[in-house]
Amino acid sequence: LFQNSGPLVMGDYDYLLAETAASAEMQSIFEKQAPYTVSDLETVLSYQSEQMLNVMPLYSNLANTSQVELTTTPKYHPIMPLLAMPGWTMEDGIPVEKDAWISDVEEQVSEGLDLFEASTGIRPSGMWPSEQAVSQAVIAPMAENGIQWAVSDKQVLSQSVKLGGGNPSDASTMDITSPWMVESGGQEMMMVFRETGISDRIAFTYGDMDVEDAVADFISQVENRRSDIINAGGNPEDHLLTVAADGENWLFMSGFGSSDNGREFLHEWFDALQDHPTIRTMTPGQYLEEKGTDQLPRLEELATGSWIQGDLSTWAGEEEESIGWHRLVAARDVYMQVLNEQPNNPGLPAAKHALMAAQGSDWFWWYGADQDSGDDSQFDALFRTHLRTIYESLGVGLPPDLLDLSGNVATPTRPSSGLMEPFYDGLSFPGEWNSAAEYDAGSGSGAADITSIEIGHDTGSIHLKIGVGDIDSYLDPDSYEGGTPHIQIYLMAPNAVDNNVAQANFHTYYGMEPLNMPTTKMLWFDFNQLRSDGRMTYNTFQSQGNEEWSIESQGALGLIVADEVFEVEIPWSTADLEPNGFTRLRIVSSVYQSRAAGGGADIELAPTPPMQISMPNLESWVKILDMQDPTGDETGDGDYTYPLAGDFAPGAGLFDLEHAIIEQSAWNVRFTFTMAEITNNWNMMWGWSHANIQIYVDSAPGGNQDLFPGTYAKTSPEWGWESAVMLVGEAGPVYGMTHESSTRITTGIEARANPETNTIVATISKSIIGGDLATSRFLIVVGSQDGYGEGKLRAVDETASTWVAGGGAPANPTNLQKYHSSIWDVLLPESVDQEAMLNSYDVNTMTYAELHGLELPPIEQQVYGLTVSEVTGNSALLTWSSAKSGQMEVRVAGDGGDVVDETWASSSSDHVYVISGMSPGEDYTVTISADGVSVSASFATSEEVDTEAPEILGAEYEVDDGAYHLTFFTTEPSSIVVEVCTDVPCSSVDIGDESNYPTEQVHRYSLAVPVNNHTVTIHAMDAAGNAASMLLIESGTISDTQVNDGTQNGNGTDTGGDDQGSETNSLIAPLILVVIALAAAILVLQGTRRPSSDDMEDGHSDAEMED
């Protein structure tokens, strides 16, 4: 209702209109009180629709009577300096390569003027550049189109260069109130620069003041500027004080928005100005007409900038913005190519319209973390729609990055069944890849075709097995006619849900075939590194956009092993993945004639569509803080009160932090905040509406003292922060920062609220929060979230109003700046006086409150990550972790009572325990206890007892620098004893604690080469106690005292310690397997015990292995 003008409804403006706007029905609705009826609503909507047709005629008539001067912007509101710039690299470090689009600036200006003239009958002589963004390069396009003056901000003026040198000062009233002449290309025009402080008072301050006080303040500010001019020896009549503000700011970002759209203020304001003896209102055009330009100072170079921070960083310099500019550049290139080659193409007009629309500023305003609409995806979709229209109108195929990322991924013919680690030898052992997923690789049968794909993973890596038609074609490329066979593996940007990925590539390297995913990594098989044992590596290339790649790293030898198949290891870190992250992967076989991009042809892309692999949730969390915060202390410096709007019900608790838990894993930091009250009446996507939580981490000396914008606070000097994060209930505005960079980090932060439990859980990547967290200090503060507020924080004034909190101090009378904080609560021990700390600001000395946080107490014991695996009819394997070493207790209970009840002192924080002696087909509960904390798990034994011993396969050894390096594979997880026999009795060798427990199938151990004749035997035992042995090395005869001379024996070839380097020795001949029998006694393995060679040799086993 109140968006309609009361005077318009009364007919006061009829003298400017062809027909009366007076409405008795509307007048009656204005006069009545709520409740209103549906009929009232229909009347208001109908009246608004009618009066919309009067808007342009009314303004035209106002201009024709010289009451106002009308200006316009370029047609689609572009940031003209960015169109005119010949490319850039800004804060994000991503180059935007383009030409200077001066002709585009000219068309935006001329078509904007044409449209305005067609709509109003007036062709403006002044221009409001979009966002007051200007540069020297855009002067000529405006002046050539008849523009005599334009407006920008005093921040731009202060960066400009005066004729003769030097910069104007944004602190000089003489400079700010002087119009300046700027010349470019033989054309000149006048620039006026707004007085930012006074303009922002109208935009953000006066709406929350009494009308009389606001008008009096404005008059006082102008009179002060007039006095400055007189005191500087100037004539006020020659100076023009420019006030400029966006209408939506002063109407919707202040108290004006909750009343009669500021009309009361406008009337009082205009009345005061009209009657004032020393202040004269004047338009820039009127100033030019009366004063001319001869006496005006001149600028040699107009700076590049806008009224937002005096620069262009709101529209360029963040990753999302650079993606948008790359796409715009590519679309314009296509348009210009068709325009030059097919000037009669019927789609050119529609394409031009879409191109000019895509150059508008709003798309780039909402990209990145510096601005948030609440649903930025809609603006992204509209922007890409304009770009698609360019291609479609011209009959050109869409580029991949304008297509939607398909949700279609390959379905495995055999799904993954759990963690796995293969034995890297280029061969396939029984059961080795059973836990991996298998994918259909197509039906090709050529030598270079991909014939099979299996993919699995463990806690550290992705494992990939690739079968090809003829692997010798790759290993001996001379055998292949027509070029050199090659393989690349392409990885999608981690966790990508669309194609909005900066500098991603979308095509294969050699054949330029579409990959159908935003690809950021290419693993390029390096066959030049191929060794005789089949080991080789890959080079990792990082995408640079525009189908260009740069080498990022060379992998370690052995990441690929080739024999019958390719076995490939891809560490999670190579794929840039963290727990619960995912990527997509495609394998491409190619034949190239040249190693340059596009220098070959692709034989096969497999699978189709790409396969998706997710990193499992491997996180184990260690709690480093569990702390109560005093309840009811959400009062800021002592007396903060809630805004008056009903949205803030129940009026207490929304900013009251009561409890905090901080936990860390190897990848992330997790914060759990309990608030006194959580509501989400604004339907924010992360589940809460009101709290703005900011986390500052002090992890090293020094750091940044300034808290985020809008807090009006800082840290004490000894509490500078190295990393910080802001959390609100919507993903868009959330960001992290480090003290070394001003770049906002928007990935790696997730949060969710549960209003039922009043908790907010935020998980933040350690790539943002770095340092040793156990020794770090934390400052955690809570403010009121305001989507329109500075720093997304709600203002606190002296008195609460609809959307503004109360309890603040008066502003400083000199600069009208606030110095009380917008922080309501700080996580602090009860012994710290929060009120005094937040009250330590001083308005008169213009100093902010200095804050400090809390230091972490010693870490308490915790038990986590308990898993039960390798369960058989009578045994199982337990693994778990604790926050620190110390006393551990294991209790295993079944229907028949306790099977295990054991306590010991552990020197480790990672634990393994083997349970034996259970009954088949029974339910059991295991409980792990340490220092008063415990964790439990239930499991059931299988119906059958495991009596099958593990097989030892693929055993090899190297001799290098006086040591044996053993590698082998066991068909089930096994503990290992390596036994060395010489002329003295046999003994087991210390090969590390990892061999003590049956947790691994791939084994790698090293031991010193004995001086005398010797044998080396491997003993493997599974969790059920079944054992097998293998004689791996015989060096001489044990009864013979002569030292081995390095001759070959039946088990391999010893290098004899020559200078040829290490050489791999494979077991080729049949191996002697020692028959082992195990006693049926219960074997319990834990932190300090492992099976010895004596255990194995003295027992009995139901399973025997023969030669």
Residues of the chain with pLDDT under 50: 1040-1107
Task: Round to whole Å and give the CA distance between 540 and 525.
Answer: 9
For 528, residues 6+ apart whose C-beta sits below 8 A from its C-beta are none
Among residues 575, 566, 577, the alpha carbon closest in space to that of 606 is found at: 566
Among residues 385, 386, 361, 359, the alpha carbon closest in space to that of 371 is found at: 361
H and E: helices and strands count for the chain = 20, 47
pLDDT tens, position by position, 930-963: 999 999 999 999 998 889 999 999 899 999 889 9
pLDDT tens, position by position, 610-646: 999 998 887 888 899 999 999 999 999 999 999 988 8
Tokens representing residue 898 in the block: 């306790």
pLDDT score of 1107:
23
Type of residue at 578: E
Task: Round to whole Å and give the CA distance between 572 and 594.
Answer: 31
pLDDT score of 252:
59
Distances (CA, A) of 453 to 460, 567, 587: 20, 10, 9
pLDDT tens, position by position, 343-380: 999 999 999 999 999 999 999 999 988 787 777 888 99
Burial class (CB in 10 A: 0-12, 13-18, 19+), 717: exposed
pLDDT score of 1090:
30
Tokens representing residue 937 in the block: 């798990």
pLDDT score of 1074:
28
For 640, residues 6+ apart whose C-beta sits below 8 A from its C-beta are 634, 796, 805, 806, 807, 808, 824
